[in-house]
Homo-oligomer: A and B are copies of this chain.
């Protein structure tokens, strides 16, 4: 064996069991009851061995509101590696008036040479005038079997209408493609934004007040209805409300293939954050109430929510300060490095089994997005592993985290349990607080299908 991880407690969606893992090249070669021998041996007694985290929702170096998100593909994925992330999925966003293919090529180019873990891309379509017959199939066959449509952001030139969504849902149904949406009712939130601005209400808290829960709930319901009628599948990015969750539960119960994602900030933080330095917490959809947090936690624990991602799209405090009215603040918060520690530590408190943790962080995103060699500790899969020490206690702070930021949304949060070693395709890239990987070592992964 090239690399051996001995004496760990292996965590899979099926259970937690004592085992030793042997790696040859980039792959898991053996899982054994007895300790193994190898060129390199890591003893992880007392620690957990989990599949590497897959963050299927990140925005590295994204232009937004006149600036660019603060982490590039290098800093962002290094930070991710420190947090146990071994695969990311970012977005190739079609510019209005252009073909989607140039954006895909450009985005691959931007990442290659920089990423330190593997990456994939969702194709985000914004202008169907420029999508020709056969393009959808071509995009899927290029390894991008998942799409993102924005049901809002009209002014930003991202929004598509319900007809476009319905048409794409119909087309992907037979192609093993998956449509994902950012679901917020554009016309209602635009009306509320304009109303608040007209009334001189410009502080960050009006960002949240202009996007009340039903703005998301209604839109998720609508997207589900179109999905059901198209006999297709739907992925809901960053669901933030109990109303959205109820719609998802109802849809799943009647057999609609809808998959839902939430993020740690929607589980942990509330709109009270908008009272002070509120701009630092401006993202869309916005933070909600404690009762939404609790409902979403239940959704994660009980299996209604399939994926926890980060929507990592950070801006430094100076960037955040650029918006003098709430509608001008760059949208987004950091998260990639704290995803696993926060979910482990806080999930445990809420009775989330470890089996479920690796499901929402690794197994499900791999399966949903067609990462066929990722997301499981099985012989033959990529040796993407994270070793977590359940006794390690830390206090989260931007000062010790590795994201390119001067604040953290979880500043001061004490967590128990922390990733200590990260292995990507058989290579130890993080160990004992040191990064050992090489810039650009990550690969673009052509995915095989979308859906479940």
Contacts and interface: CB of A to CB of B under 8 A. Distances in A.
Chain A interface extent, by class: 35 or more
A28 B19 CA distance: 11
A389 interface: no
A188 B166 contact: yes
Interface stretch (A212-220, A286-294, A441-449): A212-220
Centre residue among A14, A187, A190, A249 by max chain B CB count within 10 A: A14
A379 B17 contact: yes
Nearest to A30: B32
A167 interface: yes
A225 B29 CA distance: 49
Given A33-B29, A34-B29, A163-B187, A222 B229 contact: no
A70 to B, nearest CB: 33
A327 to B, nearest CB: 15
Contact of A255 (B163, B185, B302): B302
B30 A33 contact: yes
A13 interface: yes
Contacts of A228: 214
B218 A191 contact: no
Interface in A172-224: 185, 187-192, 195, 212, 214, 217-218, 221-222
A418 interface: no
A191 B164 contact: yes
A225 B218 contact: yes
A187 B160 CA distance: 10
Contacts of A164: 187, 191
A210 B32 CA distance: 56
B218 A214 contact: no
A125 interface: no
Contact of A163 (B161, B188, B221): B188
A229 B31 CA distance: 44
Interface string A134-168: 00000000000000000000000000011110110
A222 B226 contact: no
Interface string A4-31: 0000000011110111001010011111
A378 B14 contact: yes
Contact of A15 (B32, B302, B376): B376
